[in-house]
Amino acid sequence: MVVLLKLPSAKAFGSRIAHAPLIQCTTTYKWEQGYDDVTLYLPIPSSVTKDSIEVTIKPTSLKVLVDSLYDMEGQLSGTVDSGSSFWTMEDDSINIYLSKSNPGIVWKCIFEGDGELSVVSEQDEKKKLLLERFQKDYPHFDFSGAELNGNVPDPKNFMRK
């Protein structure tokens, strides 16, 4: 369950590709994922100070309190390594970096019960994560222009012994 109150307007987050929840809900955030991590971006006004932010990251849950702007708590759709996860404050956002406990698993949403990625978006994420894994496994090859076609296998287990 995720609840947000008095949300500031969402702002663009540069050229980074991020996903917004695909089903209209009460959350206003953007997120993206890599092979090893998930990053959540919460817009905040410039008046918010670090002292007014409380972020609690547990292996299966996340809680964010920011004055009267955010009161957000929920079960994550995947598990994280809370010791390697952290948050930072930028000029106009709180960035929460979640280290996946199971790298290569595609998260369909941040919180259980939120709108999930469409089938097409999920396939696109699998392609991106598989290419990222190939780049890590074979750093001497350049996969920057590589494209994958068709139904993509699971990035975590494909070609593993």
Which pTM was predicted? 0.69
Q: What is the pLDDT of residue 36?
A: 92
3-class SS shares of the chain: helix, strand, coil, % to 5: 15, 30, 60
- Which is nearest to 23 in space by CA: 7, 44, 42, 2? 2
Instruction: Identify the structural domains of the chain with CATH numbers, from first to last.
Output: 1-117 (2.60.40.790)
Count of CB atoms situated within 10 Å of the CB of 139: 9
Beta strands in 67-144 (DSSP E): 70-75, 86-89, 93-99
Residues near 101 by beta carbon (within 8 Å), at least 6 away in sequence: 59, 78, 79, 80, 81
Look at residue 148 in the predicted model and tell me its pLDDT. Answer: 77
pLDDT at residue 29 in the model: 84
Say how far apart CA 52 and CA 37 lie, in whole Å.
26
Q: Strands of 24-148 (E only): list them.
A: 30-33, 37-43, 53-57, 61-66, 70-75, 86-89, 93-99
pLDDT at 4: 37
Which pair of structure tokens corresponds to residue 1? 């369950």
pLDDT in tens, the chain (161 residues): 333 333 333 333 333 334 444 333 455 788 899 989 999 999 999 889 999 999 999 999 999 999 878 888 999 999 999 999 999 999 889 999 999 999 988 888 888 877 766 666 777 777 888 888 888 888 888 878 888 777 777 777 676 65
Kind and range of the H or E run holding 58: none
Of all residues in the chain, what percent carry a pLDDT higher than 90? 32
